[in-house]
């Protein structure tokens, strides 16, 4: 089964997209109490093209946890429930809005005996010159399963998958004072590309990080 990667230009209003993306926590509130937000890509920066598609498959079993690649929509309910468990109720409306905005997000899920305990979600976009970029949207781990390297394994599996699909780079944003997230991402080779003043609704600056691939 193939997952549509939705490489079309985004039709949503850019300011709405930025608000939804900037308000959403991604991985590290779910991991250690800090926050990272997803980046926003201008609709003008994307274009229609024939990009890669990602097959649903079991990637690995590590430490008793299974890691699988799946499409978002058939798993929307359990993924939404996990994100709601991991993030404060004040964020739920933005989480739900973001998932509706990007229904073709691809996912790597971590499961323990078919129970969803972690996920990483990303989307693919065509860039000028036929390059393909991946944007990390979420990385979340159930509170009862933290400190078991699940977040690292999810990130590692996602990077391996995106490399195999000939993605050119991965981008994400994180708060400039989020040492835990910066440490993890830089361990995987992400580079601080630029600092964006007042990126978040709380007026906190963000680093945009990039990981060159192929």
Instruction: Show Cβ contacts of residue 183 under 8 Å, excluding neighbours closer than 6 positions.
Output: none
17 — pLDDT class (breaks 50, 70, 90): very low
Is 124 part of any domain? yes
Query: Per the domain annotation, does 68 fall within a domain?
Result: yes
pTM of structure: 0.73
Q: What is the CATH number of the domain that holds 124?
A: 3.40.630.30
Average pLDDT on 93-108 reads 90
Q: Is residue 183 included in any domain, yes or no? A: no
Q: What is the mean pLDDT of residues 26-52?
A: 38
Count other Cβ atoms within 10 Å, centred on residue 64: 8
B/e letters for 177-197, b = 16+ CB within 10 Å, e = fewer, are ebebbbebbeeeebeeeeebe
Does the residue 210 lie in any domain? no
Q: Which domain holds residue 81?
A: 2-167
Residue 24 domain-assigned?
A: yes
> Higher pLDDT residue, 207 or 56?
207
Residue 9 lies in a domain: yes
Tens digits of per-residue pLDDT, 179-214? 988 999 999 999 999 999 987 766 889 899 999 997
CA angle 42, 213, 58 (to 5 degrees): 95
- Overall number of domains in the chain: 1
Mean pLDDT of 52-78: 83
Packing angle of the helix pair 150-164, 179-187 (nearest 10 deg): 40
Residue scoring higher pLDDT (15 or 167): 167
The answer to whether residue 113 sits within a structural domain is yes
Within a domain: 200: no
Position 53 pLDDT exceeds 80: no
For residue 73, is pLDDT > 70? yes
- Give me 25's structure tokens: 């926590």
């Amino acid at each position: 089964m193939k997952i549509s990667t939705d490489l079309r230009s985004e039709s949503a209003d850019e300011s709405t997209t930025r608000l939804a993306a900037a308000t959403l926590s991604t991985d590290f509130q779910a991991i250690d109490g800090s926050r990272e937000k997803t980046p926003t890509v201008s609709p003008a920066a994307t274009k229609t093209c024939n990009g890669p598609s990602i097959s649903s498959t079991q990637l690995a079993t590590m430490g008793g946890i299974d890691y699988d690649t799946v499409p978002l929509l058939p798993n929307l309910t359990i993924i939404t429930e996990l994100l709601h468990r991991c993030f404060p109720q004040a964020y739920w409306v933005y989480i739900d809005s973001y998932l509706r905005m990007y229904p073709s997000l691809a996912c790597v899920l971590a499961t323990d005996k078919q129970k969803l305990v972690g996920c990483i979600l990303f989307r693919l976009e065509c860039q000028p010159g036929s390059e393909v970029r991946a944007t990390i949207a979420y990385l979340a781990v159930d509170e009862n399963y933290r400190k078991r390297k699940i977040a690292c394994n999810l990130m590692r599996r996602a990077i391996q998958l995106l490399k195999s699909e000939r993605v050119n780079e991965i981008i994400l944003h994180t708060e400039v004072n989020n040492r835990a997230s910066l440490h993890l991402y830089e361990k995987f080779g992400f580079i601080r590309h630029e600092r964006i003043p007042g990126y978040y609704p709380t007026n906190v600056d963000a680093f945009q990080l990039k990981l060159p691939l192929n």
